[in-house]
C-alpha cells in the first residue's frame, strides 16, 4: 500500500495495550498531531468516560465516541489517532478506520491485566477484570485482526513505538519522515 499524505494512522487494541502512550510517541516521531478519542469525548462532555458510562450508559458513550472519531478524521493534516478499545465494534467506525492506516497493538490478557491493575477508571472492567479482559479481547479480536499493521505490544512503550515506525516504513504506509 503506497504512502498517502491524507491517511491518518489509527491505533486500536484492548484497554492497556498502549494506544495512548505509543500513539503519542509515534505522532511525535512523525511530526503529526495526536488525538485520543476518549479524551476528545471527555472534553466535549465535560466529564470522564467512566462518568458517561455511569450516568448515560454504554450506548450513549458509543454515540459520543463515534462523533469524536468523525471529528478526528476531519483534522486538516494527517494525525495519529487513538481509538477506544470498543470503537471498532461500530460498523461505520470500522469502515472509516479501514480507509486509513489501522494499527493493532496486540497484547496478551495477562499483560493487559498487569498494566491495568489498580486502575478503577475502566467501566467495562468492573467486577472481575481478568475475566472481563479475556471476554473483551476475544470478542474484539476479529475486528482488530483486520488492521493493516499488527504489533506485539508486550514491550515497553518506546520499543513498541519503534516497532510501529519500522512496520510503517517497511510497508510504505508513511512517507520519508518516518
The enclosing domain of 91 has a CATH number of: 3.40.50.300
Q: What's the mean pLDDT in 36-64? A: 94
Domain span at residue 95 reads 9-170
Query: For a pLDDT cut of 70, what percent of the chain falls above it?
Result: 86
73 in Cβ contact with 10 (< 8 Å): no
Does residue 16 fall inside a structural domain? Answer: yes
Q: What's the mean pLDDT in 52-76? A: 94
Does residue 101 fall inside a structural domain? Answer: yes
Does residue 177 fall inside a structural domain? Answer: no
Does residue 3 fall inside a structural domain? Answer: no
- Going by pLDDT thresholds of 50, 70 and 90, the confidence category of residue 6 is low
Per-residue pLDDT tens over the stretch 84-125:
999 999 999 999 999 999 999 999 888 887 777 655 565 555
What does the alpha-carbon distance between residue 98 and residue 114 come to, in Å, rounded to a whole number? 30
The pTM score is 0.87
Least Cα distance to 144 among 91, 101, 93, 106 occurs for 106
Does residue 43 fall inside a structural domain? Answer: yes
Q: In what order do the strands lie in the sheet with 149-152?
A: 34-36, 80-82, 9-12, 101-106, 149-152
35 in Cβ contact with 81 (< 8 Å): yes
Work out how many domains the chain is built from and give that number.
1
Does residue 4 fall inside a structural domain? Answer: no
Does residue 28 fall inside a structural domain? Answer: yes
Does residue 132 fall inside a structural domain? Answer: yes
Q: How many residues make up the chain in this entry? A: 178
Amino acid at each position: 500500500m503506497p504512502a498517502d499524505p491524507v491517511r491518518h494512522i489509527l491505533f486500536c487494541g484492548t484497554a492497556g495495550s498502549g494506544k495512548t502512550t505509543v500513539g503519542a510517541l509515534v505522532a511525535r516521531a512523525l511530526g503529526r498531531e495526536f488525538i485520543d478519542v476518549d479524551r476528545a469525548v471527555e472534553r466535549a462532555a465535560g466529564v470522564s468516560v467512566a462518568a458517561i458510562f455511569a450516568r448515560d450508559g454504554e450506548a450513549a458513550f458509543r454515540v459520543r465516541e463515534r462523533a469524536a472519531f468523525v471529528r478526528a478524521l476531519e483534522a486538516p493534516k494527517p494525525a495519529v489517532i487513538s481509538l477506544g478499545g470498543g470503537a471498532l465494534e461500530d460498523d461505520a467506525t470500522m469502515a472509516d478506520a479501514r480507509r486509513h492506516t489501522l494499527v493493532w497493538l496486540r497484547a496478551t490478557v495477562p499483560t493487559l491485566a498487569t498494566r491495568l491493575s489498580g486502575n478503577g477508571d475502566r467501566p467495562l472492567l468492573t467486577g472481575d477484570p481478568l475475566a472481563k479482559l479475556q471476554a473483551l479481547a476475544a470478542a474484539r479480536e476479529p475486528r482488530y485482526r483486520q488492521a493493516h499493521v499488527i504489533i506485539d505490544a508486550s514491550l515497553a512503550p518506546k520499543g513498541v513505538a519503534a516497532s510501529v515506525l519500522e512496520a510503517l516504513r517497511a510497508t510504505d504506509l508513511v512517507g520519508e519522515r518516518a
